[in-house]
Amino acid sequence: MLKPVRVPEIPEADQTPLVRGLVGIIEEQAKQLRQQEELIGQLKDEIAVLKGERKRPRFKASGMEEKAGQEKASEAGDKKRAGSEKRSKTQRLEIHEERVIAPEAIPAGSRFKGYEDYVVQGLIIRAHNTRYRLERWQAPAGDTLLGKLPEAVRGQHFSPGLQGYILYQYYHAHVTRPLLLEQLREWGVDISAGQIERILNEGKERFHQEKAMILRVGLEVSEYLTVDDTGARHQGQNGYTTQLGTEHFAWFESTPTKDRINFLSLLQGGAPSYVINAQVLQYLQEQKLPKGPWEQLKNSTTRVFEGAEQWQAHLRALNFTTKRHIRIATEGALLGALRQRGIPETLALISDDAGQFNVLTHGLCWVHAERLIHQLLPLNEQHREDQQAIRAQVWDFYADLKKYKQAPSAEKKVELDQRFDEIFTTKTRFETLNQVLKRLHRNKAELLLVLERPEVPLHTNDSERDIRDYVKKRKVSGGTRSDLGRRCRDTFQSQKDLSQARGVLLGVPP
């Protein structure tokens, strides 16, 4: 570990602009050294894993969200420990078998007084093979009549239950293909690695259609979405997986890029159309598209374009060659198509401040915002005191925002708005902290979206949780090799949360 950089306390009279500038440079260099040290540590972790050793302990999380929740519970007078309410552990169990056991010796004259139940849970795992013997008959006319297989097993040599188990183990429980193959063979199932591969990836069109419905219905009924992305290698190349959803659903899609054009295409389900309308022209002006290209798009006779090929051909016909102009025009046309599909401008997108998500009504995650302060490296005791003081104010402010969500009022809205300015315009003795506070203050409208829209969340914890499960799958099974495999991974990851909410087994056809 690098030796901490210590900046001595500088008297107020000596803090000239030059001195403050030099201290800022020292703080920035210390920050870069810390980032490099963290990167080296991550590389050491990867080497340690390859050598079968343990990783370093993780950086402690902020705890702001947990503290705010504890305060809410204490104010409500809830002193009970989580899970302390007792319930019958066997009351709702489905009973599959009953055995009546009488006493070993019953004296003459005894009276029967009913039963005393004692429930034992168990699980039966064994191969169950069915032979269908199709009767063959010959009609008087010479025609051959043959019995028909049940529809669920036509063209299949593995039952729907077994196929559902394989899907559940691989996509939900993150069991790898080799372990799954070994497990099934130990239980007496005669199956090959290729057959498991086909069960995992082929013939899943019904599930892909349901995934498309998840997004379509989710956009129709949701007032907000939380969004996030993570890396996802495909065919040996770096790619990205984007997640969007609410506490009720999650939807995943993997693509080679993660820019704003890609995200706007995903909001259309991955099959984008392009529309030029008044809202689009206003967006182009806001993005400072030059007047010449703007006039060309305004005077276009064709207003709707189905697919990227038609849109790109139109831009070529208008002689759009500058990458920036093409990007801005494409973003605007995609936004126009979203409006035409019924997605309102008021749909709130809550993110970690990644630029590609800054569309429609954008809000920011408070947990990520506070993390910028939490991860600063103080260089002396003054810096540490100021950092802790600001963090304490932010934590209290966050707790009050959560209370506001439960009971909004005009008076509280004005008070919180003023408190925000007071906190994030504070001048501290920590120059790097001052710059972070300025950055957060510039994002005031997005951080305080909850004052106008109390229904939106203050954080992206749901997305973080959902995408963490996707990362776990990626770490266990690696990247995808085929387009079909990537599509299935996205589909079943999308269905996992929905299946849990509906209380059904992932991968088992209804």
Q: What is the pLDDT of residues 176-232, one digit of tens each?
A: 999 999 999 999 999 999 999 999 999 999 999 999 999 999 999 999 999 999 999
Q: Does residue 380 lie in a domain region?
A: yes
Task: State yes or no: pLDDT of 32 exceeds 60.
Answer: yes
Q: What does residue 248 show for φ and ψ, rounded to 5 degrees?
A: -100, -20
Taking the C-alpha atoms of residue 412 and residue 451, their distance in angstroms, rounded to an integer, is: 9
441-466 mean pLDDT: 94
Question: H or E element: which one contains 273?
Answer: strand 273-275
Q: Does residue 297 lie in a domain region?
A: no
More confident of the two residues 77 and 22: 22
Using DSSP, state whether 482 is helix, strand or coil: coil
Q: Does residue 413 lie in a domain region?
A: yes
pLDDT at 271: 86
Supply the range of the domain harboring residue 413: 366-452
Our count of domains for the chain comes to 1
251-268 mean pLDDT: 94
Dihedral sign computed on CA atoms, order 100, 101, 106, 111: negative
Q: What single-letter amino acid sits at 167?
A: L
In the numeric block, the tokens 């690695």 are attached to 193
Q: How many CB atoms lie within 10 A of CB 49?
A: 12
Task: State yes or no: pLDDT of 2 exceeds 60.
Answer: no
Q: Does residue 442 lie in a domain region?
A: yes
Q: Does residue 418 lie in a domain region?
A: yes
Q: Does residue 391 lie in a domain region?
A: yes
Q: What is the pTM of this model?
A: 0.80
Q: 34-38, 94-98, 154-158, 255-259 — which is least confidently predicted? A: 34-38
Summarised one tens digit per residue, pLDDT across range 352-387 is 999 999 999 999 999 999 999 998 888 888 889 999
More confident of the two residues 31 and 130: 130
- Provide the pairing of β-strand 361-364 with 348-351: parallel
% of the chain surpassing 90 pLDDT: 65
pLDDT at 93: 86
Q: What single-letter amino acid sits at 345?
A: E
In the numeric block, the tokens 């552990």 are attached to 89
Taking the C-alpha atoms of residue 101 and residue 362, their distance in angstroms, rounded to an integer, is: 66
Q: 21-30, 85-94, 145-154 — which is least confidently predicted? A: 85-94
Q: Does residue 166 lie in a domain region?
A: no
Q: 81-85, 98-102, 209-213, 323-327 — which is least confidently predicted? A: 81-85
pLDDT at 351: 95
Counting Cβ atoms within 10 Å, is residue 269 exposed (0-12), middle (13-18) or buried (19+)?
A: middle
Which residues make beta-bridge pairs with 29? none
Q: Could you tell me which residues come within 8 angstroms of residue 230 by beta carbon, excluding any fewer than 6 positions away? A: 240, 241, 243, 467, 470, 471, 474
Return the DSSP state at 8: P
In the numeric block, the tokens 């129709």 are attached to 220
303-324 mean pLDDT: 92
Q: Does residue 370 lie in a domain region?
A: yes
